[in-house]
Amino acid sequence: MDGRAALARRLIETRVDVADAVLERLGPRSSGQASALIVRSMVSALGQSLDAAGPEAVVSWARMAHGAYALSIIHDLVAAGCDVAAGEGERLDLDFSALLVFLEIVKTNVAEAFPLAPGPRYESPNRATNGVIEGVLATLKARDEATCAHSQATGAWCRRLSEAMGLSAATTDVVVKSGVLHDIGKIATPDAILFKEGALSDGEWAVMQQHAEFGAEILAQLPALAPFAPIVRAHHERWDGRGYPFGLKGEQIPFEARVLAVADAFHAMISDRPYRPAIAQREAMEILREGRGTQWDAEVVDAMIAMLDAPRTATGRREAARG
C-alpha cells in the first residue's frame, strides 16, 4: 500500500479521532456550529478523495452539507480537515509536498464549487432539496456503489408502488425521496461488516442495524432532508413489533415507512448481495406473501403483489381471448 492510500485508510478508520482533532483545530466558536457526525462524514470523504486521487468526494460532501451549513462553515471544515490530514501524513512514508499540493486542489475545488460570495439567485425548494439529495447519494456512492445503486432502485420501486396504491403526488414524492435516502446511514458502517461475504455475527448484526438511526441523524441535521428522517429511521420496523430500532408496531410505524419497507425488501431480494445471490422475482413475491401482516403491512404487500402480477394477468387474458 502506498503512502497516500495508507493515509486514506487511516483517516477513514480513525475518523472519530480525526474529527475531534478537526473540531479542536477550529476552536469552540466555530466547532460549535458543526455536529460531530457531519465532521466525521467530511473526514471520510477526504479519505475517499485521497484514495481516488481526486477531489470529487469532498465536493459531494460539501454539496450535502450545504443544505444545513453556511458556506463559511463548510470552507472552514474542509480547510481544517486538510490541515489535520497533512499532520497525519507527516507521520507516513509519502511524498509530503505532493500531499500538500493535492490538499490545496481539494480546497480549491470546494471553493470553486461553492464560492463564498455567490451572485444572487433563486432556487426553488424542491430543486434545492434535490441538490442536497444528489450530494448525499454521491457521498454514499464514494463509500459503496452497490448500496447507492440499491438506494436509487428502491426509490424507483417506491414510485411504482405508490402510484399503484393511488397515493397523492405529495405522499409519493415523500416515499420516493425516503427510498433514495433510506440507506445513507451505511456510510458509518465499518467496511468489515458492510462488505462481509458471510453471515454476520450477533455483534456485527447489532452494528449493521444502527444504520437506520445513523441515517436519520444525518438527515435531521440537513433542513432540506429533515422531513425524511422519521421515515428512514423506521424503515426496518415490522408490523408485528419485532423490527428495529424501536420495535414500533402496526400503525405506530409511519405509513410512508411501511411502503418503503416493502419496496426495499423486494429489491434487496431480487438483487445480488455480498452474502447471497439474487433470488427469482416469483420467490421474492412468495416471501412477501409469507410476511404479509407480520413483517409488512398487509395492505402494502397486497398492492405490491397485484402490481407485480398485473403484466402476467394481462398476458393471460390476451391469450385467453385469442384461444
Active site residues: 186
CB atoms within 10 A of CB 83: 16
Amino acid at 267: H
The DSSP call for residue 296 is: B
Cβ atoms of residues 102 and 53 within 8 Å = yes
Cell 507527516 appears where? 90
3 state DSSP class of 162 = helix
From the list 167, 185, 184, the residue with the least C-alpha distance to 256 is 167
Query: Phi, psi (5° rounding) for residue 111?
Result: -65, -40
Query: Which residues pair with residue 273 across a beta bridge?
Result: 276
- DSSP annotation of 201 reads P
Phi and psi, residue 182, nearest 5°:
-65, -25
Length of the chain: 323
Distance of CA 193 to the CA centre of its chain: 16
Answer whether 52's CB lies under 8 Å from 142's CB: yes
**What's the CA gap between 58 and 52, in Å, rounded?**
11
User: How far apart are the C-alpha atoms of 110 and 116, rounded to whole Å?
Assistant: 10
Helix (H, G, I), strand (E, B) or coil at 40: helix
Grid coordinates representing 278 are 439474487
Calculate the alpha carbon distances from 283 to 93, 238, 305 in Å: 53, 20, 12
